[in-house]
Amino acid sequence: MSTLKRAIFTASLCLAMTAGAASGETPNFGKPIDEASIAPWDISILPDGTGLPKGSGTPAQGAPIFAEKCSGCHGENGKGGEAAALVSDKELIGINAAQKTIRNFWPYSTTVFDFIRRAMPFQMPHTLADDEVYALTAYILAGNKLIGPNDTMDAQTLPKVKMPFRDNFILRFPDRI
């Protein structure tokens, strides 16, 4: 048998064995997940605010929540601690991750809400009520002087906050802004 025929035969045999294994039964670990179980985690928020829940919050409401649940990592008033600073008026110079803050790097205010809701507090993610997330988002945006100290953030007002660094990103979904 020639080398070419042997290579074709070997490749065909491997393909047949792989196809057979792929169509076989699974090891039956776990159980299928139903829609009701997925719904609490189906929480994506788009830049235009699509997906934002009902609720609202102000910087004043966010201050005590931040002090209790966030300052241990992010420091007093979000100025930095074990975790990154959230509030700063420093300009971003280069790509140093330690300099990136919400004001000088994040492109959308809705991303702040989405991140807090999905991942914070670090040790207990996805445990904050929507009103708490709106209040924390308002507190952080006000600390960065992106909204006023008495502004209310909700599904209508939050997407309207224009972040200073937004135009420095290539828009993946320009029709969604």
Q: Would residue 98 count as lying in a domain?
A: yes
| DSSP annotation string for 116-138 | HHHH-STTSTT-S-HHHHHHHHH
- Does residue 34 lie within any of the structural domains? no
Question: Does residue 10 lie in a domain region?
Answer: no
Q: Residue 100: give the domain boundaries.
A: 44-176
18 belongs to a structural domain = no
Residues 6+ apart with CB under 8 A from 114: 43, 44, 45
Give, for all 177 residues of the chain, the pLDDT tens digit: 567 777 677 777 666 666 655 556 667 788 888 888 888 778 889 889 999 999 999 999 999 999 999 999 999 998 888 888 888 877 766 666 666 778 878 889 999 999 999 999 989 998 999 999 999 999 999 999 999 999 999 999 999 999 987 777 776 666 765
Number of domains in the chain: 1
Predicted confidence at residue 40, as pLDDT, reads 77
The per-residue pLDDT for 6 is: 76
- Assign residue 97 the CATH number of its domain: 1.10.760.10
